[in-house]
Chains A and B, each alone.
Chain A
Amino acid sequence: MTTAPERTEPTPLAPGAPKSGTTFLGLPTAPRGVGHLRGDRSFPDAARGALRDGQLRANLGHATSTIRAKRAAVVGEVPDWEQLRQAGKALKTATMARLDEHLVELERQVTARGGTVHWARDANEANAIVTRLVQATGTDEVVKVKSMATQEIGLNEALEDAGITAHETDLAELIVQLGDDAPSHILVPAIHKNRAEIREIFLRTMPQFQGPDADRDLPAEPRRLAMAARTHLRERFLRARVAISGANFAIAETGTLAVVESEGNGRMCLTLPQTLITVMGIEKLLPTWQDLEVFLQLLPRSSTGERMNPYTSMWTGVTPGDGPQEFHLVLLDNGRTAVLADEVGREALHCIRCSACLNVCPVYERTGGHSYGSVYPGPIGAVLSPQLTGVEDNASLPYASSLCGACYDACPVAIDIPSILVHLRGEHVEAQERTTPEAVAFKALSKAMSSPRLWHLAQRAAGLSRFLARGKPTMPSMLPPPVSGWTRSRDLPTPPRETFTQAWAREHGAQS
Chain B
Amino acid sequence: MTSAREEVLGRIRTALGENRPEVRVPRDYRTADDRPAEQLLDVLLDRLEDYKASVLRCGPDQVGATVAAALDTGLGAGWDPGAVVVAPGVPAGWRPDGASEDDGRPAVELAAFAATLTGIAVAIAETGTLVLDGGPLSGRRAISLLPDCLVCVVEAGQVVGGVPEALHRLDPNAPLTMVSGPSATSDIELQRVEGVHGPRTLVVVLVA
Answer yes or no: B124 CB below 8 A from chain A CBs.
yes
Nearest residue in B to A97 (C-beta to C-beta)? B20
The residue among B104, B174, B190 with the most chain A CB atoms within 10 A of its own CB is B190
Answer yes or no: A433 CB below 8 A from chain B CBs.
no
User: Contacts A86-B26, A97-B16, A263-B198: A171 and B178 contacting too (C-beta < 8 A)?
Assistant: no
> Which residues of B from 158 to 208 have beta carbons under 8 Å from A?
162-164, 167-168, 172-191, 193, 195-199
Name the contact of B198 in the complex, choosing from A188, A194, A267 (C-beta under 8 A).
Answer: A267
Measured between C-beta atoms, what is the minimum distance from A298 to chain B in Å?
A: 10
Using Cβ atoms and an 8 Å threshold, which residues of chain A touch B3?
A: 119
Nearest residue in B to A2 (C-beta to C-beta)? B6
Answer yes or no: B57 CB below 8 A from chain A CBs.
no
Using Cβ atoms and an 8 Å threshold, which residues of chain B touch A59?
A: 189
Name the contact of B23 in the complex, choosing from A97, A194, A321 (C-beta under 8 A).
Answer: A97
- Contact between A170 and B198 (Cβ–Cβ < 8 Å)? no
Answer yes or no: B126 CB below 8 A from chain A CBs.
yes
- Contact between A170 and B187 (Cβ–Cβ < 8 Å)? yes
SS class, residues of chain B in contact with chain A: loop
User: Contacts A2-B9, A27-B11, A307-B127: A265 and B23 contacting too (C-beta < 8 A)?
Assistant: no
Stretch at the interface among A31-39, A337-345, A500-508: A337-345
Using Cβ atoms and an 8 Å threshold, which residues of chain A touch B28?
A: 80, 83, 87
Name the contact of B188 in the complex, choosing from A7, A98, A222 (C-beta under 8 A).
Answer: A222
What are 8 sample pairs from A and B whose C-beta atoms fall under 8 A apart?
A: A4-B13, A27-B15, A118-B4, A271-B107, A297-B29, A308-B128, A310-B184, A331-B8
Answer yes or no: A312 CB below 8 A from chain B CBs.
yes
Measured between C-beta atoms, what is the minimum distance from A295 to chain B in Å?
A: 9
Measured between C-beta atoms, what is the minimum distance from B66 to chain A in Å?
A: 24
Number of chain A interface residues as a range: 35 or more
- Contact between A313 and B172 (Cβ–Cβ < 8 Å)? no
Nearest residue in B to A229 (C-beta to C-beta)? B196
- Contact between B180 and A306 (Cβ–Cβ < 8 Å)? yes
- Contact between A104 and B9 (Cβ–Cβ < 8 Å)? yes
Measured between C-beta atoms, what is the minimum distance from A496 to chain B in Å?
A: 26
Answer yes or no: A256 CB below 8 A from chain B CBs.
yes
User: Contacts A307-B126, A307-B128: A315 and B175 contacting too (C-beta < 8 A)?
Assistant: yes
Nearest residue in B to A322 (C-beta to C-beta)? B140
Nearest residue in A to B31 (C-beta to C-beta)? A293
- Contact between A91 and B179 (Cβ–Cβ < 8 Å)? no
Closest 9 CB pairs of A and B: A264-B198, A264-B197, A337-B11, A308-B127, A341-B15, A264-B183, A94-B23, A254-B172, A263-B196
Using Cβ atoms and an 8 Å threshold, which residues of chain B touch A239?
A: 108
> Which residues of A from 276 to 307 have beta carbons under 8 Å from B?
282, 289-290, 292-294, 296-297, 300, 304, 306-307
Number of chain B interface residues as a range: 35 or more
The residue among A90, A223, A271, A331 with the most chain B CB atoms within 10 A of its own CB is A271
Nearest residue in B to A102 (C-beta to C-beta)? B12
Answer yes or no: A210 CB below 8 A from chain B CBs.
no
Using Cβ atoms and an 8 Å threshold, which residues of chain A touch B128?
A: 307-308
Using Cβ atoms and an 8 Å threshold, which residues of chain A touch B163?
A: 293, 296-297
The residue among A59, A80, A194, A264 with the most chain B CB atoms within 10 A of its own CB is A264
Answer yes or no: B95 CB below 8 A from chain A CBs.
no
- Contact between B198 and A310 (Cβ–Cβ < 8 Å)? yes
In the complex, per-residue mask of B90-116: 1 if CB is within 8 Å of any chain A CB, else 0: 000000000000001001100100000
Interface contacts beyond A80-B28, A94-B25, A271-B107: sample of 19 additional A-B pairs, CB < 8 Å, sorted by A: A2-B2, A59-B189, A87-B29, A119-B4, A121-B8, A169-B197, A171-B196, A188-B186, A188-B190, A222-B185, A226-B185, A230-B196, A262-B184, A264-B197, A265-B196, A270-B141, A316-B172, A319-B175, A323-B140
For the complex, give the distance between the alpha carbons of A237 and B174 in Å. Answer: 23
Using Cβ atoms and an 8 Å threshold, which residues of chain A touch B27?
A: 87
- Contact between A119 and B5 (Cβ–Cβ < 8 Å)? yes
- Contact between B26 and A310 (Cβ–Cβ < 8 Å)? no
- Contact between A322 and B145 (Cβ–Cβ < 8 Å)? no
Using Cβ atoms and an 8 Å threshold, which residues of chain B touch A169?
A: 197
Measured between C-beta atoms, what is the minimum distance from B33 to chain A in Å?
A: 11
For the complex, give the distance between the alpha carbons of A233 and B185 in Å. Answer: 15
Measured between C-beta atoms, what is the minimum distance from B178 to chain A in Å?
A: 4
Measured between C-beta atoms, what is the minimum distance from A10 to chain B in Å?
A: 10
- Contact between A2 and B10 (Cβ–Cβ < 8 Å)? yes
- Contact between B104 and A321 (Cβ–Cβ < 8 Å)? yes
For the complex, give the distance between the alpha carbons of A25 and B104 in Å. Answer: 54
A-B contact count (CB 8 A): 257
Measured between C-beta atoms, what is the minimum distance from A197 to chain B in Å?
A: 10
The residue among B14, B51, B195, B199 with the most chain A CB atoms within 10 A of its own CB is B14
- Contact between A310 and B108 (Cβ–Cβ < 8 Å)? no
- Contact between B167 and A289 (Cβ–Cβ < 8 Å)? yes
Measured between C-beta atoms, what is the minimum distance from A16 to chain B in Å?
A: 22
- Contact between A323 and B173 (Cβ–Cβ < 8 Å)? no
- Contact between A121 and B7 (Cβ–Cβ < 8 Å)? yes
Nearest residue in A to B172 (C-beta to C-beta)? A254
Using Cβ atoms and an 8 Å threshold, which residues of chain B touch A270?
A: 141
Answer yes or no: A238 CB below 8 A from chain B CBs.
yes
For the complex, give the distance between the alpha carbons of A321 and B107 in Å. Answer: 10
Measured between C-beta atoms, what is the minimum distance from B9 to chain A in Å?
A: 5
User: Contacts A99-B12, A311-B179: A90 and B4 contacting too (C-beta < 8 A)?
Assistant: no
- Contact between B180 and A97 (Cβ–Cβ < 8 Å)? no
For the complex, give the distance between the alpha carbons of A169 and B183 in Å. Answer: 14
Using Cβ atoms and an 8 Å threshold, which residues of chain B touch A254?
A: 172-173
- Contact between B145 and A268 (Cβ–Cβ < 8 Å)? yes
Stretch at the interface among A61-69, A394-402, A423-431: A61-69
Measured between C-beta atoms, what is the minimum distance from B55 to chain A in Å?
A: 16
Using Cβ atoms and an 8 Å threshold, which residues of chain B touch A188?
A: 186-187, 190
Using Cβ atoms and an 8 Å threshold, which residues of chain A touch B29?
A: 80, 83-84, 87, 294, 297
- Contact between B145 and A251 (Cβ–Cβ < 8 Å)? no
Using Cβ atoms and an 8 Å threshold, which residues of chain B touch A91?
A: 25
Measured between C-beta atoms, what is the minimum distance from A215 to chain B in Å?
A: 20
User: Contacts A87-B27, A97-B20, A237-B197: A125 and B4 contacting too (C-beta < 8 A)?
Assistant: yes
- Contact between B183 and A310 (Cβ–Cβ < 8 Å)? yes
